Amino acid sequence: MTKRVYIETWGCQMNLHQSEELAGAMRAAGYELVDRLDGADVVLFNGCMVRQKAEEKLLGRLGAVVEEKRRRPVILGVGGCFGQVHGTKLLARSTAVDFVFGTRGHSAIPALVDRVARAGERPVDVGGAEEHEESASVRASSVSAMITITEGCSNFCSYCIVPYARGPMRSRPPERIVGEVEKAVEDGYREVLLLGQNVNSYGRDRPSYGVFAELLRRVAHTGIGRVRFTSSHPRDLTNDVLSVMASEPTVCRHLHLACQSGNDRVLAAMNRGYTRERYKGLVGGARRAMPGLNVTTDMIVGYPRETDAEFEDTLALVEEMRFGSIYAAKYSPRPLTRSALEPDDVPAEEKEERLRRLLDAERRIALEENQRFVGKEVVVLIEGKTRDGVHYGRMDDHRTVVVRGDAQVGDLVPVHVEGAAAAALVGAVRGG
């Protein structure tokens, strides 16, 4: 009888892509992928450590597996950044956890399952190959293919656990990356998303690989319809990258450039390596090179010793930069990081209030920016359907559009924009 596996993921797009690889490894080992925990023989939790909230969500889900184990045999593996950092401690923390895996070596997961099933072991494998190898993935999207170009990070921002969870930054050979993009084109994908904790550092560890701008241009010439990338660190963004973005029509007019704070003292404490004015200069230069460029960002509120005035600097920067969207979070201390040694001294209620004010400002700005498109025609790549059966997709600049009319997933269609909200535009296929 075919065994069934259920995979649940928390965290960044890198984690989502690695869950695609987990799914590929399990399918290759003869497992059927299912979308419900209560129908699975094996459950894999691919967890995140970047925010405390994500960690708490995973721990909360262990109870559901405990309930299933009371009714029938279920093997639970917990991994990703969560497993990489906690390791053997997870086995002591919960008897529901049967094995632990890390951020690399996902092709070995079926063997870990066998060790649990056949020998009753509780293995921990948080090693794996240092160089990331793209394996046969079961992609979540039939339109956009995620491809890793770097793994790990060497920036050591004071608050960030990624260098400890994923190791130092390691670039992948450009020939393999380009070959994987060409394979995605052959398989009918309309878009690729190049992934790295900091794509701008590509090649710094391996000078013979070249730099990110060169790789981006090569990918743009593979025949793929659209090229996206994430994430970009402001410290390492070069004019060469902006030049490629501006000159290559297949590279999308969207730049996710994580800022984290609008105050220079906080930025220095975070070890971000740039100032407020430097960040503003980068955004201004990018928008001059590409009028209409959509810039999105990340922000943290309530960093240790952040004052009201320092938070107001962040709020003022958001007003000035007019980001298309913001991923904002309340600061939470992460194990192993430098900031965890400092008192987490901004009260929880103050963090909540700052987050509310930041998101209120961003929703207002996003609505105002989206309203500029009402009455205009935009080109949308259809990515899927809502629960109500209405298509949705994205513009070249990453804005989401809900689309009425005759379209299919994977189509690139002209859409007349009829309305706007903070999160999305609404329109109809021209002539549809």
Cβ partners under 8 Å of residue 371, min gap 6: 420
Strand 412-420 relative to strand 32-33: parallel, antiparallel, unpaired?
A: unpaired
Domains of the chain: 4-125 (3.40.50.12160), 144-371 (3.80.30.20), 377-429 (2.40.50.140)
pLDDT digits (tens, 9 = 90+) for 45-61: 999 998 888 899 999 99
Cis? peptide before 231, omega within 30° of 0: yes
Split at pLDDT 50, 70, 90, the class of 133 is: low
In this prediction, residue 387 carries a pLDDT of 85
Distance of alpha carbon 235 from alpha carbon 201, whole angstroms: 10
SS3 8: strand
Number of H helices, E strands in the chain: 13, 19
Is it the case that residue 128 has pLDDT exceeding 60? Answer: no
On average, the pLDDT of the chain sits at 95
In this prediction, residue 1 carries a pLDDT of 64
Is it the case that residue 132 has pLDDT exceeding 90? Answer: no
Split at pLDDT 50, 70, 90, the class of 44 is: very high
Task: Report the first-to-last Cα separation within the chain, whole angstroms.
Answer: 47
pLDDT digits (tens, 9 = 90+) for 260-312: 999 999 999 999 999 999 999 999 999 999 999 999 999 999 999 999 999 99
Cβ partners under 8 Å of residue 174, min gap 6: 209, 210, 214, 215, 218
Split at pLDDT 50, 70, 90, the class of 430 is: confident
| Count of C-beta atoms within a 10 Å radius of residue 239 | 12
Beta carbons of 399 and 324 less than 8 angstroms apart: yes
* Closest among 240, 165, 174 to 203, alpha carbons compared: 174
